[in-house]
Chains A and B, each alone.
Chain A
């Protein structure tokens, strides 16, 4: 039965080839695969386990079941931190995204020195957040800072910004708007992809500037808007460095003031409180539970935004 032999030899060869391909594929994948197993998958399982224990890295852990999650729900500081974080999501992100879109629209208008302006609008994104945080603490100093000095020139008495719990988060939003170069770039790329013919025919039909913006530009970039908003939500929930620096520097209270979110807890954001629990108070089990709650919050918010947003996009 020569033909049967030939078939089995062929399938044998194919199997050997597949095995070889698998070996090559896995070998090239191995840096990420090892990283995934040791720095993602195992830590996820460990974190889930820690979240059910009392654990401080020094002494043995103790099983507490869902105790950490129950405590988190009752913890007034968790409530404060979630409130502050949601402020940034609900108030800050719309301001940030509308600003980025407007900046991108400005950069899309043909003006003299367009490339220079594109660079200028983007520059703040490059500044290390620690340097930017220090600079803005100085800029927002109620007495000798640049912002209030300029306001004084036009006859406005500026607020105490980082020293006033009511104004600390608006100050943070101001810094966001100043440093949102990457979102602006993404909107700009989307604006440049809108076909010029659409505007031309709309202009022939007598559509004004606002009508063109509303009926052409905004629908055409809506996919990018959704992407930007989702990215902004994820990073807003994880906001850490800038408020940490602002709190410690403006109060002069160092790391202690930073993890308490000075002034008066108004800059206590979720990840700052999580970090403080894990590494300042060494309540690592509790902090692990907080991390999973954070994951759930981000997940729910992202899904809600996508579900709310998608049905509106009839054009795309």
Chain B
């Protein structure tokens, strides 16, 4: 009984900010800055959401964010599954060395490569385009490659050998034998890529300059700092709208999330 209470009280610590966020996003501004505080809105201003999403070009931000997300997901799934297959199911000289290099790149903080990579995209005239946020997704991620490799290794090699005997090519084995059996792992790559790309602030901050290219995270951060007196109710409404898709993704693919994080535990 005592532990039930404790679990619930700690649960409130996580939940109360969300509740207050939701309520405040529906208040008139005068309610928000009222002192002493009123926790419940005087009246529910659903218009806040309309205002927040029209005051800034939310549709533009959403489109840019979705474009990056879709390509990032496609890119990461393809460019991690292929190397993972090579590192688990193809026997070739130098494979172990390649795996070791792959693992050691995970130790390198992104700040070390950040400036030269920026210079590369600058020379390619891709600053202020979405390309620097999309192209790297197609060039393999050490983290996802390693994760998929570990998963591919659990698939019985008899299945792979049988397909080889039947004359199936390597790509055919990956697509027809390995991939269908790796749905949980591939789902994990998909949802984690979506979450991290959707939530990313640093990448877009680095590369996207004009408002027509901004993602939601940049647009929201700019909106908050543009006005002297912050329209908190609108800002909070936009924050709710920005957060909801991540929670929806979680409920759609809960197992993949939990599996992905508790077995590989990144970020």
Q: Which among B39, B83, B220 is the interface contact of A131 at CB below 8 angstroms? A: B220
| Inter-chain contacts of B228 with A (CB < 8 A) | 252
Q: Which of B66-74, B153-161, B180-188, B229-237 contacts A (4 or more CB under 8 A)?
A: B229-237
B98 CB → nearest A CB, Å: 6
Is A101 on the interface with B (CB-CB < 8 A)?
no
Q: Is the CB of A178 within 8 A of B14?
A: yes
Contact A245 B116 (CB under 8 A): no
Across the interface, which residues of A come within 8 angstroms of B118, CB to CB? 57, 278-279
Give the shortest distance, in Å, between B33 (CB) and chain A (any CB).
Answer: 6
**A136 contact set on B, CB distance < 8 A:** 17
Tell me, yes or no, whether B265 is within 8 Å of chain A by CB: yes
Q: In the assembled complex, how far is the CB of residue B237 from the closest CB belonging to chain A, in whole angstroms?
A: 11
B15-51 near A? 1/0 per residue, CB < 8 Å: 1111011001000000011111101000000000000
Please report the C-alpha to C-alpha distance between residue A214 and residue B133 in the assembled complex, in whole angstroms. Answer: 46
Check B117 for interface membership: any CB of A closer than 8 A: yes
Counting CB contacts under 8 A, is A22 at the interface? yes
Within 8 A of A (CB), among B205-227: 206, 216-217, 220-221, 224-226
Contacts of B24 in A (CB 8 A): 138
Of the listed stretches A70-78, A85-93, A115-123, name the one at the interface; the rest are far from the partner chain: A115-123
**A52 contacts B by Cβ under 8 Å:** no
Question: B265–A134 contact, CB under 8 A?
Answer: no
The residue in chain A whose Cβ has the minimal distance to the Cβ of B227 is A252
- Residues in A with CB closer than 8 Å to B80 are 31-32
Q: Are B111 and A294 in contact (CB under 8 A)?
A: yes
Cβ of B145 and Cβ of A287 under 8 Å apart?
no
Q: Is there an interface contact between A31 and B3, defined as CB atoms closer than 8 Å?
A: no
Q: Which residues of A contact B254 (CB under 8 A)?
A: 119
Output the nearest chain B residue to A298 by Cβ-Cβ distance.
Answer: B109
Tell me whether B115 and A288 are in contact (CB under 8 A).
yes
Q: How far is the CA of A124 from the CA of B21 in the complex (A)?
A: 12
Q: How large is the interface on B (under 10, 10 to 19, 20 to 34, 35 or more residues)?
A: 35 or more
Q: A128 touching B242 by the CB < 8 A rule?
A: yes
Question: Contact: B261 with A21, CB < 8 Å?
Answer: no
B70–chain A nearest beta-carbon distance, Å: 17
Q: Determine which residue in A106, A129, A131 has the highest number of CB atoms from chain B within 10 A of its CB, and name it.
A: A131
Cross-interface CB contact of A143 among B21, B35, B83, B112, cutoff 8 Å: B35
Pair A106/B7 contact, Cβ less than 8 Å:
yes
| Contacting pair A24 B202 (CB below 8 A) | no
Q: A134-B220, A144-B37 are in contact. Are A292 and B112 (CB under 8 A)?
A: yes
A138, B250: Cα distance in complex, Å:
25
Expressed in whole angstroms, the minimum distance between the Cβ of B210 and any Cβ of chain A is 15
Q: Cβ of B221 and Cβ of A245 under 8 Å apart? A: yes
Any chain A CB within 8 A of the CB of B55? no
Taking a contact as CB atoms under 8 Å apart, the answer to whether B261 and A135 are in contact is no
What's the Cα separation between A115 and B8 when bound, in Å? 12
**Residues on B with beta carbons closer than 8 Å to the beta carbon of A2:** none
Residues of B within 8 A of A253 (CB): 225
Interface pair B170/A28, CB less than 8 Å apart:
yes
Residue pair B224, A121 in contact (C-beta under 8 Å): no
Is A231 an interface residue when CB atoms closer than 8 A count as contact?
yes
Mask: chain A, 164-191; 1 = CB below 8 Å from B; 0 = not:
0000000000000010001101101100
- Which 9 residue pairs spanning A and B have beta carbons closest together? A35-B139, A32-B140, A25-B92, A28-B86, A43-B116, A31-B79, A43-B113, A254-B225, A46-B116
Chain A residues engaging chain B, CB cutoff 8 angstroms: 18, 21-22, 24-36, 38-40, 42-44, 46-47, 50, 57, 103, 106-107, 109, 111-112, 117, 119-124, 126-131, 134-139, 143-144, 146, 149, 152, 178, 182-183, 185-186, 188-189, 227-228, 231, 234-235, 237-238, 240-241, 244-245, 248-249, 252-255, 271, 274, 278-279, 284, 287-288, 290-292, 294-295, 298-299
